[in-house]
Structure 1
């Protein structure tokens, strides 16, 4: 406890002393402010240096860590490459081992093959020897065959010459026989036709004596021998002419002899007329089956010639005749008049 006594009163200051104190106080305050600013600047500089050092340390640590990571990755890649290399080496060694085993087997097979080749060469030598002997035999046989072939050629030439002579002789005899047959057949058909004409005349005389008897031929038909003949007024192709005659129970005219041909030349005018002669499978045939070879022929000059007309298709396979030119082969599609024949009996 303080002692109780009189209170101590501070001394009073004068105005001059107060002014001096105030001036000194202001100077001290200014010095203090200056020192504080320098201190702060020093502190800031130290802080900046410390921060820069700290950042530099961090950067170095990051760089070191990145470098260590890079080294680690390089090491991993290198180890992986080494692992792959050793693995491939192991597989290659295994493959080489298999190749070595296969080569050993192949060498064994080659030795066997070489042995077989040697044996085959030995057999080939024996075969070659046999072939040489066979060639010698074949050569002798070939010479004998050549000699035989020469003799056969001479014999063949003689046979060919003989065949040629025989063919000419047979052809000549056949031609003579054919000409004789045609001559005899033509003469026979002419005689038959004359007899038919006589019989036809007798029938006509009998009909005339018997006034009640029917005529031998229909109206528009002409009687000759044992047949009735009709001449058309229209021109049609060969097939149409054939059909028209068949509709009247007749057929295109068949010329069996010289007398009948003479009758027809007087029966028609000087135009072209279809007759019942046509070509079938390359041979001339009468449409009623009468033999063409056995009947007389009345072809015109240089006929048949099978010369085509441009406006009509096909070859000349049908026959027409005229008073002036005789028989002539023409294309069947051409339109001519026609003559029908109908037998009385």
Structure 2
């Protein structure tokens, strides 16, 4: 037993055992103190041994290695957590600041738009005020010119009044001398002569009137009429165009302001005692083209395609009238009614769909 006591212990195995048992202990510091106490008791029994010290240092290094590594791991974890927390805090602050900046930007943009609208309104108001100021200035100039003219007229009237007063003052104080008395005596004689002349003229007028009446009475008993009376009777017998109708030659023209089909337009003309217009010459066509842009006229080729006739049955003389370019063309599956067009690049007679809504021209002949 003494040999076992003084035998050199296997320090390496002891350390391993302690390491294995230390993994199950909660307090790491207490395990290290036990290990040191064991080494101290072993050295006191067999004396100091340099190799043993070296082994103890190695064992201590082995025993403290995992603990230090865990501690460093914990420190790293804590540092990383703190760093993450700082970054999260920084990003959150930047996001909040960005939101605030965007809100401020939108507010500034809205304020800028409001300022632009206000500036536009102020500019328009300034233009209106300038125009009003210009009008007021012109009105002021007109009033000043009128005032100047009135002032000059007033000065002229005052000057005239002064002249009249001067003349009145000059003639009133003149004494009546013998010459004036003689003229006053001669005045009744002159008035008598004038009265005689006026009476004579009146008698001549009365005599002329009596002669005219006698002549008219004599002519009324005669079976013959004077030329003037014949002309008057002819004027009375002449028929005039209705109200709001145009007159050209012996025809009256009614130009409608409404839009209807060709058949409806002709029915309206018949109800007015007329019919759709029949154009007999270029002069008549030129006259009507002054008052319309597009209007139905009284021609159609319903009875025979391509053979155009007026509403009175007479054929349309194409060579005597002016047609629009390329017309008549019978486009769009049949255009059997005629109208007159006055457009930029399309002027003259044209064939058109009879159901289309167009204004119309009625013609009525004078008796």
TM-score (norm 1): 0.36
Higher relative contact order (CA closer than 8 Å, sequence separation 6+): 1
TM-score (norm 2): 0.34
Larger Rg: 1
